[in-house]
A = this chain, B = another copy of it.
Amino acid sequence: MEDAARRLLEGDQRTLSRMISYLERGDPQAAGVLKTIDPHTGNAYIVGITGPPGAGKSTLVDRLAELLRGKELTVGIIGVDPSSPFTGGALLGDRVRMQRHYLDPGVFIRSIATRGQAGGLPRTVRGITRLLDASGIDVILVETVGVGQTELGVLEVADTVLVVLMPESGDAIQALKAGIMEIADIYLVNKADRDGANQMATNITSMLQLGHNRTDWAPPVMLTTAQSGQGIDEVWEKIQEHKQHLTDSGELTKRRGLNRQKEFLETVQEEMTRRLKARIEQDPTLIANLDRIANKESEPYSAALEFLENTGFNAE
């Protein structure tokens, strides 16, 4: 067995960090390690956490990590930073609050930026969870602001998805309509000490009754106050209950299998594009075209389709 893979399976965090970096920048060493460790994965439970900025996701993650450490479970935290000029700051602040866990060897924290990934973000996060899993981490918490399709894609990796809202989330109803409903397993109304928490919970419950259920799991709506720790024990119990449900119904194995297939297909597509792009950028016809396009002698969109036709990339 490769040295790196062995150290990873022994739980060495420096090796884990290095392998994640390899995976992020598309270094082929990552593929070898992933292949070797694969049979040793499948033990970690993955919880996805999403919600609008300010709902208290990071405080919740912090509290969950604390609770899990109290149960002597090891924790991995993956924070997905959407690299937004307008939300980047908030996430950065949140990270600072996690600092106390940095000293605990039973907690592994990694922030992943949407920029600077060799491949797509969902695909990279899938690989990272497998690395964490193999290193012996029991529970992986994947936190994302969920502002776009990419971040929703990231959540597919999770076994259980928590959607965190707060009493002031006036856009909650909109959120439920817009795709979150299909991936949410548990809803939390956080900051439940504020006015309107019960009303918000009632609204969500009503919305859920209108929607069609994709499985026979009816997503519960829970009240939490992450700041004081109120309701966190119950959230963890509910996650365990959902896990039991997935296991009993065979859904857990099925979901994870589908996720593996998706990772394969995503990797094929991304790598294919990257390699062909590198080849085509050397093409002399293409280079000659570029000048004519800039000078308005040639129209960009139709020129692109003509170029592909001449290169043999015909429409199906």
State the A residues within 8 Å of B (CB): 28, 30-32, 34-35, 38-39, 42, 51-53, 82-90, 92, 114-115, 126-127, 145-150, 152, 170-171, 173-175, 177-180, 257-258, 260-261, 263-265, 267-269, 271-273, 275-280, 286, 289-290, 293-296, 299-305, 307-308, 313-316
Contact = CB atoms under 8 A, between A and B. Distances in A.
Contacts of A115: 149
Q: Is the interface of A mostly helix, strand, loop or mixed?
A: helix
Contact of A114 (B84, B85, B149, B272): B149
Nearest to A41: B296
Nearest to A281: B265
A196 to B, nearest CB: 17
A68 B293 CA distance: 31
A196 B145 CA distance: 28
Given A147-B82, A304-B264, A276 B272 contact: yes
A275 to B, nearest CB: 5
A308 to B, nearest CB: 6
Contact of A264 (B28, B82, B148, B293): B293
A122 to B, nearest CB: 12
A267 B305 contact: yes
Contact of A30 (B257, B260, B301): B301
Contacts of A87: 147, 171
A175 B31 contact: no
Given A89-B175, A126-B300, 10 more contacts: A85-B179, A86-B175, A114-B149, A148-B150, A257-B294, A260-B293, A263-B304, A272-B277, A275-B314, A276-B276
Given A115-B149, A276-B313, A260 B300 contact: yes
B171 A304 contact: no
A271 B313 contact: yes
A264 B279 contact: no
Given A35-B299, A264-B304, A269-B273, A84 B313 contact: no
A264 B35 CA distance: 38
Contacts of A268: 280, 286, 304, 307-308
Contacts of A303: 264
Contact of A272 (B32, B88, B264, B273): B273
Nearest to A119: B301
A27 to B, nearest CB: 12
Contacts of A293: 257, 260-261, 264
B296 A260 contact: yes
A31 B305 contact: yes
29 contacts: A31-B302, A31-B305, A34-B300, A42-B296, A51-B86, A52-B86, A84-B146, A85-B152, A85-B175, A85-B178, A85-B180, A86-B145, A86-B147, A86-B174, A89-B173, A148-B148, A148-B150, A257-B295, A258-B294, A260-B293, A260-B300, A263-B300, A264-B300, A267-B300, A271-B308, A271-B313, A272-B313, A276-B313, A278-B316
